[in-house]
Amino acid sequence: MFVVVLGMLVSLALAVVVLFMVAVPARRERRYMLTPKAEDLVSQVRGRTGDALETAREKTGEVLDAARERVSDVTGTNQD
Protein backbone atom coordinates (compact mmCIF):
# COMPACT_ATOMS: atom_id res chain seq x y z
CA MET A 1 0.00 0.00 0.00
CA PHE A 2 2.86 2.32 0.83
CA VAL A 3 4.36 1.81 -2.63
CA VAL A 4 1.05 2.77 -4.27
CA VAL A 5 0.73 5.97 -2.24
CA LEU A 6 4.36 6.81 -2.88
CA GLY A 7 3.86 6.29 -6.62
CA MET A 8 0.83 8.57 -6.60
CA LEU A 9 2.76 11.29 -4.78
CA VAL A 10 5.66 11.01 -7.23
CA SER A 11 3.22 11.27 -10.16
CA LEU A 12 1.59 14.32 -8.61
CA ALA A 13 4.97 15.96 -8.06
CA LEU A 14 5.95 15.32 -11.69
CA ALA A 15 2.65 16.77 -12.90
CA VAL A 16 3.20 19.93 -10.86
CA VAL A 17 6.74 20.29 -12.20
CA VAL A 18 5.55 19.93 -15.80
CA LEU A 19 2.76 22.42 -15.19
CA PHE A 20 5.17 25.01 -13.87
CA MET A 21 7.63 24.35 -16.69
CA VAL A 22 4.92 25.02 -19.29
CA ALA A 23 2.36 27.37 -17.79
CA VAL A 24 4.52 29.84 -15.89
CA PRO A 25 6.83 30.78 -18.80
CA ALA A 26 3.86 31.00 -21.14
CA ARG A 27 2.07 33.32 -18.74
CA ARG A 28 5.15 35.51 -18.40
CA GLU A 29 5.33 35.85 -22.17
CA ARG A 30 1.62 36.73 -22.15
CA ARG A 31 0.72 33.74 -24.29
CA TYR A 32 -2.74 32.38 -23.76
CA MET A 33 -3.19 28.78 -22.72
CA LEU A 34 -6.71 28.47 -24.15
CA THR A 35 -8.07 28.90 -27.64
CA PRO A 36 -10.35 31.89 -28.34
CA LYS A 37 -13.37 29.57 -28.27
CA ALA A 38 -12.33 28.22 -24.87
CA GLU A 39 -11.80 31.75 -23.58
CA ASP A 40 -15.36 32.63 -24.63
CA LEU A 41 -16.66 29.53 -22.87
CA VAL A 42 -14.80 30.41 -19.68
CA SER A 43 -16.18 33.96 -19.71
CA GLN A 44 -19.73 32.63 -20.19
CA VAL A 45 -19.31 30.24 -17.28
CA ARG A 46 -17.97 33.02 -15.06
CA GLY A 47 -20.96 35.19 -15.95
CA ARG A 48 -23.45 32.44 -15.24
CA THR A 49 -21.73 31.61 -11.97
CA GLY A 50 -21.93 35.25 -10.91
CA ASP A 51 -25.65 35.38 -11.74
CA ALA A 52 -26.31 32.15 -9.85
CA LEU A 53 -24.35 33.43 -6.87
CA GLU A 54 -26.34 36.67 -6.76
CA THR A 55 -29.63 34.74 -6.93
CA ALA A 56 -28.52 32.40 -4.16
CA ARG A 57 -27.48 35.32 -1.96
CA GLU A 58 -30.81 37.05 -2.49
CA LYS A 59 -32.82 33.93 -1.62
CA THR A 60 -30.62 33.14 1.36
CA GLY A 61 -30.97 36.70 2.60
CA GLU A 62 -34.76 36.48 2.39
CA VAL A 63 -34.78 33.21 4.34
CA LEU A 64 -32.45 34.61 6.99
CA ASP A 65 -34.61 37.71 7.39
CA ALA A 66 -37.73 35.59 7.82
CA ALA A 67 -35.94 33.38 10.37
CA ARG A 68 -34.76 36.42 12.32
CA GLU A 69 -38.30 37.78 12.41
CA ARG A 70 -39.64 34.48 13.71
CA VAL A 71 -36.95 34.27 16.37
CA SER A 72 -37.64 37.82 17.47
CA ASP A 73 -41.37 37.05 17.60
CA VAL A 74 -40.80 33.95 19.70
CA THR A 75 -38.32 35.59 22.07
CA GLY A 76 -40.49 38.70 22.29
CA THR A 77 -43.52 36.69 23.50
CA ASN A 78 -41.43 34.83 26.09
CA GLN A 79 -40.16 38.05 27.63
CA ASP A 80 -43.67 39.49 28.20
Q: What does the pLDDT look like over 34-79, one tens digit per residue?
A: 788 888 888 888 888 888 888 888 888 878 888 888 888 777 655 5
Looking at the structure, do residues 41 and 71 belong to the same domain, yes or no?
yes
Indicate if 16 and 38 belong to the same structural domain: no
Measured CA to CA, the distance from residue 71 to residue 65 in angstroms comes to 10
Region 3-21 average pLDDT: 95
Q: What pLDDT, on a 0 to 100 scale, did the predictor assign at position 23? A: 82
Kindly state whether residues 29 and 47 are assigned to the same domain.
Answer: no
Torsion-angle region of 21 (φ positive above 0: left; ψ -120 to 50: alpha; else: beta): alpha
Same domain, 58 and 19: no
- Please tell me whether residues 13 and 28 are part of one structural domain: yes
Examine the domain organization and report whether 1 and 24 are in the same domain: yes
Q: Are residues 41 and 67 in the same domain?
A: yes
How far is residue 36's CA from residue 25's CA, in Å, rounded to a whole number?
A: 20
Same domain for 24 and 49, yes or no, is no
26 and 40 both lie in a single domain: no
pLDDT score for 80: 46
According to the model, what pLDDT value does residue 66 have? Answer: 83
Q: Which residues have CB under 8 Å from 39's CB, separation 6+?
A: 32
pTM above threshold 0.75: no
